[in-house]
Amino acid sequence: MARTPAGLAGAQPDPPFEITLDGRAVTALPGQSVAAALWAAGILAWRTTRKGGRPRGAFCGIGHCYDCLATINGVPNRRACLVPARPGDALTVQEGHGHAGLGV
């Protein structure tokens, strides 16, 4: 018999919903952060570094390290580990500091 935390608590969460990363559908659960939804989908990187273009994703998971920066609904530099996933959120892989279009 498989037991889950939700089952043990008798919780009945709302149904899952979709967010997207560069147009790819990702299933998210109510209460998940954007980073948690991406991790659950097997996506470990959603940003590249300014120098070298190295992939980055969540590192600390509590908003201190800034490795999880993402462009969410057109706004760059959002900490994905702190932003609650909302139905229809559109994420794009953030390159560097997220302001390439601004020429900074």
Task: Tell me the domain boundaries of the chain.
Answer: 13-97
Query: What's the pLDDT at 26?
Result: 97
Reply yes or no on whether the pLDDT at 101 is more than 70: no
User: What percentage of the chain exceeds 90 in pLDDT?
Assistant: 52
pLDDT digits over 43-81, tens only?
999 888 888 888 888 888 888 888 889 999 999 999 999
β-pair type (17-21, 90-92) = parallel
β-pair type (24-28, 17-21) = antiparallel
Contact assessment for residue 37 and residue 29, using Cβ atoms and an 8 Å cutoff? yes
Q: What is the pTM of this model?
A: 0.80
End-to-end CA, the chain:
56
Local structure of residue 38 (DSSP, 8 states): H
Mean pLDDT of 6-10: 81
Given 3.40.50.300, 3.10.20.440, 2.60.40.1120, 3.40.50.720, which CATH number is that of 13-97?
Answer: 3.10.20.440
